Structure 1
Amino acid sequence: MKYQTRKKALVLLADGTIFYGKSIGIEGTATGEICFNTGMTGYQEIFTDPSYFGQLMVATNAHIGNYGVNNEEVESEGIKISGLICRNFSFTHSRVDSDGNLFDWFEKHNLVAISDVDTRALVSYIRENGAMNAIISTEVDKIDELKKQLAEIPNMEGLELASKVSTKEPYFVGDENAPIKISALDIGIKKNILRNLAKRGAYIKVYPYNASFEQMSDFNPDGYFISNGPGDPEPLEEAQKTAKQIIEKDLPLFGICLGHQVIALANGISTYKMHNGHRGINHPVKNLLTGKGEITSQNHGFAINREEAEAHPDVEITHVHLNDHTVAGIRMKSKNVFSVQYHPEASPGPHDAEYLFDQFIENIKKVKA
């Protein structure tokens, strides 16, 4: 077993701080912005979520790998995180419907992962000092070289990553005879979003990140969707232009996470990089329209400017995050447009917010009636 031959490994942060651990058996070096997820389950869905592209993931759950992997529990084609940092890595697993162990899956994708790190101390440090670039490596005797490599990593702020994870060619999801047609802009879309739309009677055509409004309208859709995804929303000028044209024509539009930020930018509301973002499956949100609370799955490092949203004459804040009062949802007062900063499709996470997909379908049906 690899467990007996594991080498020393390290986490080097951009400010020079070092945390030590052990390699799980896959040697090498990985770079990216370091972030942490507080979810207690769903690690496979997290690792394959395109929104995490370019990031080193710290798992706060003490045990990773204990239930193996299942080939159906993926949110995209392949692993999207740059590398993994955890406390305890399980080389053996116990689960009835498992398709294998996590180590073999990581080895197949050549993912560098290190364990035996004091993740509680590391996460506390990130919370205090903010998200920053980092490097993980088994080459613990080459710290000076690692520092030089780390210095060359671009900052997440201003970084366009949607093109790295988006589909290259349009594709279809669902029943072609379904009563509703939706054009979806893929800037890092999760599979479970498409499943949620399809099971509500929608036939979806998924377009690349830079698709124009004209291209997306060729499908003659009943509604439009802008997905989640990685990186800074500001460089996504083509997506913003497409969103602006959909809004101008008052067509049904729904956005999630990065899509929410794109819709805000299309309305002249700016975005900003958060201190360390929201990543987990138990984030409390209040629906200001109903007064109800929702426990939500979240994964974002950017947010929209609340003051500008409140001052916008045609935008209403519909949801707020109860921990820090950041904007968690908006809608337009005179247009058929709404968006949320969290993940109603979950995977992993609670299903409190699935009603938002129903709301989108209802918005489409009202126009079709």
Structure 2
Amino acid sequence: MPDASLTFIYGATRPATYGGTLPGTYGAVPESQYRLRLRAPNGRQILTTALLSVDVTLEHSAVSTLTTEIPPFDRLEDFILGHAVLEFRGERLFRGRILGLPGPTTGDTATIEISGPARTLTRGAMSAGPFSGYAYEAIASVWNQYTRFDATVLVPDSPTSLSEYSPDGTPMEVLQDLHELAGMRFTVSHQQTGPRVESYVPEEHVKSGDWASTDWDSSLDATDYANAVEVYGGETSDGSRAFARAADQDEIDRLGNEVLVRIDDATLTTDADCQARADSELTDRLAEDDLSGSVEIIPQVVLPGYHYTIDEFDTGDGAPELPVEQTRLREAQGEARATLEVNDSGSGVIDTIVDLRRETAQLNQP
């Protein structure tokens, strides 16, 4: 079992075997660089650095998760539906509710599954609207009326308008839908008490990449690229089918051909709502002409969804501003690390194709 100096249990008796050696192949449990605090519904607490593995996935516009492997503490079942906080060198990285615990077992370890605050958005059904006006106002209305989150909605520079739009589904589905229409994202903060969230247009809020990187890698990919979007909606009030198209003619001319994507969404019942979706989707698809990659850093809080200045991907023209799509925090065998999954909306595959075609055309000149 873990060294007693690494584990503190409140509200219960510490098992007599603590201070010995963990059975099985692990040997003595090393002191983790992470620290986990568990609080059971009955008030019992565990504060421990005896973590055999840690795997945190911080997501934007979705539910973040933590899976950790610890020794099988006495009466661990007390902690189901309790709360957990993970820290690294005194900084809070993650907090959430304990949803998965092992039952009675002869195993040498116990795996705990913890979901972030956004999981509450995945339960229940709701209908909202109809919304007319700016999409960010509808987002603020849903946060305030249908969730317990303390929400900050940052006003876009060029807000999207809605016309009699009535979303339904779980709060998560409704919020994801509205954010997509608005060209926005939302990110939950784990550093404060209480559920807090911020909605924003990612490229309008660039943060400094003030981390210590240890490694990085990148690749080019245009799988999801498009320069034209057609949106087919549901039935309108006059019996026709709602429809809209958005295209970037300059991009089509630059590439030399149209790359079209079709979207079918029966919940969009006006041409205006289809147009808002098409415009938002086109912006996203054009940005899928990407230099994407990952950056390994010493663990710290890097909230996903926002754009950051990434010095590691500087190709000589200055550090690009890249959206961090996901942050993963891990530890295994005593090694703590974090990975930022990034996506550059700057020069990418399409620019490379255009440059090659231009060079080929020049070579073929008489």
Could you state the TM-score of these two structures normalised by the residue count of structure 1? 0.25
Could you state the TM-score of these two structures normalised by the residue count of structure 2? 0.25
Query: Which has more helix, going by share of residues?
Result: 1
> Which structure has the bigger radius of gyration?
2
Query: Which has more strand, going by share of residues?
Result: 2
